[in-house]
């Protein structure tokens, strides 16, 4: 049993679980994973209630400390494991990385509602309402600006992999599922995310899952 335990839900559907899981795996932070079901059954709901004060996942458990909210979990592990450099080193880049991570955490509701994460599925062209189009335009603008301004020699938004990349990783899987076409810089960036060892492991596990549950944000 590792010191840290991360409680997550179905890898095919749980976009919020993917974010800290990916950040922690990419950073090489050891943790025990507990995977619970998003099924709408009393048993599954009781398990959520047992682990999560907000009845949502992800949840990080570190001894007597329980954290919910994906972004707070990412911040905590970045503080606990500074050598993993989960935020950019340079102050301005770090501030921008936090800004776009917060924008992702609080925004893009149309995209999240109309294109829920469903890694196994392929629904090209579905969900593309005008509001979703605006979300996609904003997200790809962020990706282009960060890659151009801060990407340097690296493949990620701020060069090396950071929490900002983890925050946008579920968007990349959505663009694949719903066949969203993007500009060249964004496409290259998507490929970098999909090629991450941890991302491939998550996707393979999602493919192997058999449970089908209603799509979640």
Residues binding ligand GSH (CB under 6 A): 9, 14-17, 38, 55-58, 69-71, 105, 216-217
Residue 54's contacts (CB-CB under 8 Å, 6 or more residues apart) are 68, 69
Minimum CB–partner distance for residue 90 and ligand GSH (Å): 26
Identify which of 2, 27, 66, 9 has the alpha carbon closest to the alpha carbon of residue 163: 27
Could you give the 3-state DSSP secondary structure of residue 61? Answer: strand
Rounded Cα gap, residues 39 and 196, in angstroms: 29
Phi, psi of 161 (to 5 degrees): -65, 130
C-beta closer to ligand GSH: residue 26 or 70:
70
Q: In what order do the strands lie in the sheet with 4-9?
A: 32-36, 4-9, 59-62, 65-68
Minimum CB–partner distance for residue 152 and ligand GSH (Å): 29
Minimum CB–partner distance for residue 170 and ligand GSH (Å): 9
Minimum CB–partner distance for residue 208 and ligand GSH (Å): 19
Minimum CB–partner distance for residue 20 and ligand GSH (Å): 8
Rounded Cα gap, residues 48 and 85, in angstroms: 31
CA distance to 11, 64, 111, 114, 136, per residue, from 130 (Å):
28, 46, 10, 11, 10
Question: Nearest-CB residue to ligand GSH?
Answer: 56
CA distance to 11, 72, 129, 131, per residue, from 199 (Å):
11, 21, 28, 28
C-beta closer to ligand GSH: residue 51 or 150:
51
C-beta closer to ligand GSH: residue 61 or 217:
217
C-beta closer to ligand GSH: residue 36 or 182:
36
* Exposure string for 177-192, b = 16+ CB within 10 A, e = fewer: bbebebeebbeebbeb
Minimum CB–partner distance for residue 106 and ligand GSH (Å): 9
């Amino acid at each position: 049993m590792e010191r840290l335990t991360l409680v997550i839900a179905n890898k095919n559907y749980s976009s919020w679980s993917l974010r800290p899981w990916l950040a922690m795996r990419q950073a090489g932070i050891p943790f025990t994973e507990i995977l619970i079901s998003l099924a709408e059954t009393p048993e599954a709901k009781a398990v959520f209630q047992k682990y999560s004060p907000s009845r949502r996942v992800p949840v990080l458990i570190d001894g007597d400390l329980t954290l919910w909210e994906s972004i707070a979990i990412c911040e905590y592990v970045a503080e606990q494991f500074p050598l993993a450099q989960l935020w950019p080193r340079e102050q301005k880049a770090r501030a921008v990385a936090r800004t776009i991570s917060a924008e992702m955490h609080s925004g893009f509701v149309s995209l999240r509602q109309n294109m829920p994460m469903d890694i196994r599925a392929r629904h090209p062209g579905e969900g593309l309402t005008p509001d979703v189009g605006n979300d996609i335009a904003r997200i790809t603008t962020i990706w282009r600006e960060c890659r151009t301004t801060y990407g340097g020699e690296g493949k990620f938004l701020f060069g090396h992999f950071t929490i900002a990349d983890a925050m946008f990783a579920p968007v990349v899987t959505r663009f694949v599922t719903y066949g969203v076409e993007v500009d060249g810089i964004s496409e290259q960036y998507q490929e970098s995310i999909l090629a991450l060892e941890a991302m491939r492991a998550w996707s393979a596990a999602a493919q192997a899952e058999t449970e089908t549950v209603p799509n979640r944000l």
